[in-house]
Amino acid sequence: MPNMDEILKMAQEAQAKLMQAQEDLDKIEVEGVSGGGMVKIRASAKGRIIGVDIDESLLAPSEKQMVEDLIAAAINDARSKADVAAGAAMQSVTGGLQLPPGFKMPF
């Protein structure tokens, strides 16, 4: 059975790995798409929006409402993909331990 110093060292190592994994999430990119590819949102697995690409055909004033809806849909698609990418990255760090939804690391 490990002594208290070994347990503390293991906890510190685990925390360092989790912090590194959190930093790495910002390097993983996903792309959310809507309108058959007319609107694309690039985001990090951490949820940071990196870029927006809107097809020029949507830039007419009469298309304003549709563009707004497509942007919202693309952001939601990117967020969903970011959650999947983040879950996969964190699963490798947590050794497959299932964490409750919305659980943020590090503690």
pLDDT digits (tens, 9 = 90+) for 38-53: 999 998 888 888 889 9
Q: What is the DSSP letter of 58?
A: G
Q: Tell me if the domain spanning 4-94 has CATH number 3.40.980.10.
A: no
pLDDT digits (tens, 9 = 90+) for 73-96: 999 999 899 888 888 877 776 665
- pLDDT score of 100 more than 80: no
- pLDDT score of 105 more than 60: no
The answer to whether 24 and 43 are in contact (CB under 8 A) is no
The pairing of strands 49-54 and 39-44 is: antiparallel
pLDDT band at 11; cut points 50, 70, 90: confident
Name the residue among 67, 73, 43, 69 with its Cα closest to residue 55.
Answer: 67
Report CA torsion sign: 3, 4, 9, 14. positive
What's the pLDDT score for residue 31?
A: 93
For the chain, which residues make up each domain, given as ranges? 4-94
